[in-house]
């Protein structure tokens, strides 16, 4: 296949993108998407200045009519951007020439009073608005799936695990509620940063709009209205906290999704076998081992969770910008933030696909609680003996009985029943109650209900 045709058709990413990123968001940040966003800013600027009496209405219409990305040669713009230092400069030149071919008078008003960073930053904000819509929609779907899972499995017994070892009984519903609670916090964080993030960038050369004189603020307000963005208190060319905040929030989101993916992949291990990613033709197989059923979607989410933190650190480092316009650090954002966005979007999509068809083996979960021959109930036994023996002595008794249970391959309950200190204070019925998983769940059900109530109230 011709290499040039391959690059032109898919930007060289067709092979791996479906594994890791949101294809929809990759389109938003494609060359076409980036150019179109900047052109939308140029068209809106012309209309805004026409409203303020600076640009003739006919000229604004002529400019807007030319603001279509497909009218420009991406290759030529890319080559020129390498010399100019950013893609906005050659784009404005090409737009001016295109408008001039149709209306020489209108060409004089292209990009009037703006600077290249105004066009690139405001165009980026338009792209990020699409990112928020897409990811927020995905989070809403995730919350619905997790709420249903938490409710259905409110009482489904599972071994709670600490340091990868069985600890005490819990419920799968509580695990799902934990995932849901984190997801809801990320949804709230994105909603909270919306008004801070979705703002216009328009300041001219050094952020004073001096080229527009007394009409600068009127043009800025009209431009913000044209683009459907808020008007900030002042231009933010070298104040990058808004973008860094989005990067950080998406980093937190991907981290939580990575935690879900890690849990699911561990529960899918052959020796555990409590949950399984959805099965399907060509999904999760192995080229060498026909029996394999791999957690492929979880692997993709985990890969994003590994990659995104480094990208977030780049965005944080890029905040240190010199004076009124940074040197190099602004450029460092151009590929970094889009990559964070497409990876986060991809992680959300992959996780939704997993949760929608997650296979849950409740019987295996309960059976696995019995693997330790009752050791999973040792903490409950120690707590029951503590009022009679003291906490330290009770712990020592149960610890000694646990060692014996392991050495003699016996049930801990039976070993405890033969210990004099235990017989003196606990009845057979009392011991039976201690080793009943359903009576060892503490506030698991209460916590699930609290999370579900908060989710329902928010909706």
Distance CA 109, CA 55 (A): 7
Element (H, E) at 294: none
- Look up 287 and say whether it is catalytic: no
196 catalytic residue (yes or no):
no
CA atoms within 13 A on the CB side of 304: 37
Please count the CA atoms within 13 angstroms of the CA of 191 that sit on its side-chain side.
11
DSSP 166-210: EEEEEEHHHHHHHHHHHHHHHHHHHHHHHHHHSB----TTTTS-G
Cα first-last separation, the chain = 51
d(CA 130, CA 339): 14
Catalytic residue among 189, 215, 262, 325: 325
Q: Quote the strand ranges of 82-177, DSSP E.
A: 157-162, 165-171
Neighbouring residues of 252: CB distance < 8 A, sequence distance ≥ 6? 186, 189
Please give the structure tokens belonging to residue 418: 């033969």
Q: C-alpha angle 304/308/310, rounded to 5°? A: 135
Query: Which of 9, 102, 196, 286 does the annotation list as catalytic?
Result: 286
Burial 306-344 (b: 16+ CB within 10 A, else e): eebeebbebbeebeebeeeebeebbeebbebbbbbbbbb
Query: Among 133, 135, 130, which Cα is nearest to 348's?
Result: 135
- Phi and psi based region of residue 16 (left: phi greater than 0; alpha: psi -120 to 50; beta: remaining): alpha
**Which residues belong to the active site?**
286, 325
């Amino acid at each position: 296949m011709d290499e040039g045709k391959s690059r032109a058709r898919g930007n060289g990413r067709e092979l791996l993108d479906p594994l890791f990123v949101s294809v929809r968001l990759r389109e938003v940040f494609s060359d076409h998407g980036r150019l179109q966003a900047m052109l939308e800013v140029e068209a809106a600027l012309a209309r805004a200045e026409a409203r303020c009496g600076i640009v003739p209405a006919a000229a604004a219409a002529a400019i807007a009519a030319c603001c279509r990305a497909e009218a420009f040669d991406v290759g030529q713009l890319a080559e020129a951007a390498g010399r100019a230092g950013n893609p906005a400069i050659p784009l404005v030149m090409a737009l001016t020439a295109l408008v001039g071919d149709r209306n020489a008078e209108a060409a004089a008003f292209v990009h009037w009073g703006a600077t290249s960073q105004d066009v690139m930053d405001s165009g980026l904000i338009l792209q990020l608005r699409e990112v928020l819509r897409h990811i927020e929609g995905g989070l809403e779907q995730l919350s619905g799936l997790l709420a249903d899972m938490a409710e259905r499995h409110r009482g489904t017994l599972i071994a709670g695990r600490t340091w990868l070892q069985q600890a005490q009984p819990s419920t799968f519903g509580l695990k799902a509620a934990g995932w849901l609670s984190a997801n809801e916090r990320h949804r709230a964080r994105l909603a909270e940063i919306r008004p801070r993030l979705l703002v216009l960038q328009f300041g001219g050369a050094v952020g004073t709009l001096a080229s527009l004189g007394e009409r600068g603020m009127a043009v800025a307000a009209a431009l913000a209205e044209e683009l459907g963005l808020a008007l900030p208190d002042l231009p933010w060319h070298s104040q990058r906290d808004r973008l860094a905040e989005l990067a950080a929030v998406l980093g937190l989101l991907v981290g939580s999704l990575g935690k879900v993916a890690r849990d699911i992949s561990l529960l899918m291990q052959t020796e555990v076998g409590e949950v399984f990613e959805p099965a399907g033709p060509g999904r999760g197989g192995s080229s060498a081992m026909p029996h394999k059923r791999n957690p492929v979607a979880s692997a993709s989410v985990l890969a994003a969770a590994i990659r995104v933190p480094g990208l977030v650190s780049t965005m944080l480092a890029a905040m240190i910008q010199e004076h009124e316009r940074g040197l190099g650090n602004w450029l460092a954002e151009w590929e970094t933030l889009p990559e964070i966005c497409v990876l986060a979007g991809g992680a959300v999509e992959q996780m939704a696909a997993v949760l929608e068809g997650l296979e849950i083996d409740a019987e295996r979960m309960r059976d696995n609680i019995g693997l330790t021959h009752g050791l999973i109930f040792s903490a409950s036994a120690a707590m029951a003996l503590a009022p009679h023996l003291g906490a330290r002595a009770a712990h020592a008794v149960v610890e000694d009985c646990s060692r014996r249970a392991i050495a003699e391959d016996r049930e801990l309950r039976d070993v405890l029943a033969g210990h004099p200190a235990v017989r003196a204070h606990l009845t057979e019925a009392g011991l039976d109650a201690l080793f009943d998983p359903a009576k060892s769940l503490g506030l698991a059900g209460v916590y699930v209900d609290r999370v579900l109530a908060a989710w329902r109230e928010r909706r």
